[in-house]
Amino acid sequence: MSRPGTPHRRLSPFLSRALLLGLAPFIMVAPPSVAQDRGLTTNAMLAIGSEAELTSSLTFVDVDGDGDRDVIFGNGRHWAEQNEVFLNNGSGLFTVAYALGPEKSTTYAVPAGDLDGDGDADVVVANDRAENWVYLNDGSGQFERVGSVGPEVESTRGALLHDLNGDGALDVLVTNRGDPNGIYLNDGNGRFGSKQEFGEASGATIAVAVGDLDGDGDPDLVLANRDGQANQILVNDGALGFDDVRTFGTGSDTRSIAVADVDSDGVLDIVAVNIGASNAVYIGRGDGSFEDAVSFGGSERSFSVATADVDGDGDADILVANAGERNATYENDGSGTGWEEHWLGDDDHSTYAVAVADLTGDGFPDIGFANSGARNRILINVPSR
């Protein structure tokens, strides 16, 4: 594997503002700073949705303003299905459900955040070979489709919300396979400007992560690419210009990227999960360059990654969604380079996404998996007996 990046600028000792609603791979660190005996549990009530649904993504977000995290499932992939909202009853059970909207679509991602500045969570629906839609929330968890992010019809594989230009409004980053990726700047009212391309014009980007990798105070981009294309770090010039491109990885088939401080040094690192190559951690040096890859896991077909302090010892662990094999957690030994693997249950579904949030209000991160062709699964973080 190649070493990503070359020295650029010194990273300041704080993490970038990358933790937004609807960001699939994100960090939630539990309050305790010492290790605790904890485990993940599930039951029949925590198997959500239908076995017939081709779920590709999930987002934990409080849609109805009651203070707990609900979940939105994106369904369909290449075949039009209905996206769904499941409401949390406050204890981590999702006992009320309804359609996000009447439309069916070929959805790959459903990031959520306040797009129009009214204080509630809205949704972008990212679709394969259809327009990417905008749904605004009326404050009670009921959504109305008000338009599209842009007029483009592309092979979209992901979308992310982040305030890229620092104006306080969430912008949209759309990743495409075989079409140029796009940035759409928000005017603050949930309306978006023309597409600004990033990455390769004919790239195969499956996902993007955002973080200040070189310490200059602006958001840089990390691209997960497939179809034999190397992954890329796009360094922001401060004006959303991304001409400084650095490659890393095997050039095989990376499906998901997370940026997190896994070695607790105040510098963002990169976690990449792959098909056809080992999953890997790249430790950041603080100047936009990274150490050589540290592999973890085996030969799994990994589709999605998130980070969270699952065991409550104060460092970021890794959660991986696999296709055709069990999903797994990797507990951090504190160094960011030593990982203890734990398989989760006996299911070996095609899991397309993993997300993390505190669903029960106890301060510890719980986990959700989006399964294509099987019911989705929630795991609750509980004290070990």
User: Which of the residue ranges 167-176, 245-254, 266-275 would you say has the lowest mean pLDDT?
Assistant: 245-254
Q: How far apart are CA 71 and CA 347, in angstroms?
A: 21
- Average pLDDT value for residue range 45-62: 97
Extract the tokens encoding 380.
């609750």
Taking the C-alpha atoms of residue 165 and residue 230, their distance in angstroms, rounded to an integer, is 27
Q: How many CA atoms within 13 Å lie on the side-chain side of 362?
A: 13
Q: Cα Rg for the chain, rounded, in angstroms?
A: 19
User: How far apart, in Å, are the Cα atoms of 191 and each of 72, 153, 158, 188?
Assistant: 22, 18, 19, 7
Predicted confidence at residue 220, as pLDDT, reads 98
- Each residue's pLDDT tens digit, 131-170: 999 999 999 999 999 999 999 999 999 999 999 999 999 9
Place of tokens 């759309």: 174
Contacts of 102 by beta carbon, 8 Å cutoff, 6+ apart: none
Give pLDDT, residue 265: 97
pLDDT of residue 22: 36
- The answer to whether 166 and 147 have CB atoms below 8 angstroms apart is no
How many other CB atoms sit within 10 Å of the CB of residue 287?
A: 17
- Tell me what pLDDT residue 1 has: 40
- Report the greatest alpha carbon distance in the chain: 55
The tokens for 375 are 């019911």
Please report which confidence band the pLDDT of residue 12 belongs to, taking 50, 70 and 90 as the band edges: very low
Amino acid identity, position 174: V
Distance CA 383, CA 356 (A): 17
What local confidence, expressed as pLDDT, does residue 330 receive? 97
pLDDT (0 to 100) of residue 347: 84
For 245-252, what is the mean pLDDT? Answer: 86
Question: Which pLDDT score is estimated for 36?
Answer: 65
Write out the two tokens for 17: 């503002």
**Token pair 């996206």 in the structure block, residue:** 83
Shortest CA distance to 265 belongs to which of 283, 291, 282? 283
How far apart CA 55 and CA 116 sit, in angstroms, is: 27
Question: What per-residue confidence (pLDDT) applies to 9?
Answer: 28
Q: What are phi and psi of 70, to 5 degrees?
A: -90, 180
> What average pLDDT does this structure show over 202-209?
95
The per-residue pLDDT for 4 is 52
Provide mean pLDDT across the span 106-126: 98
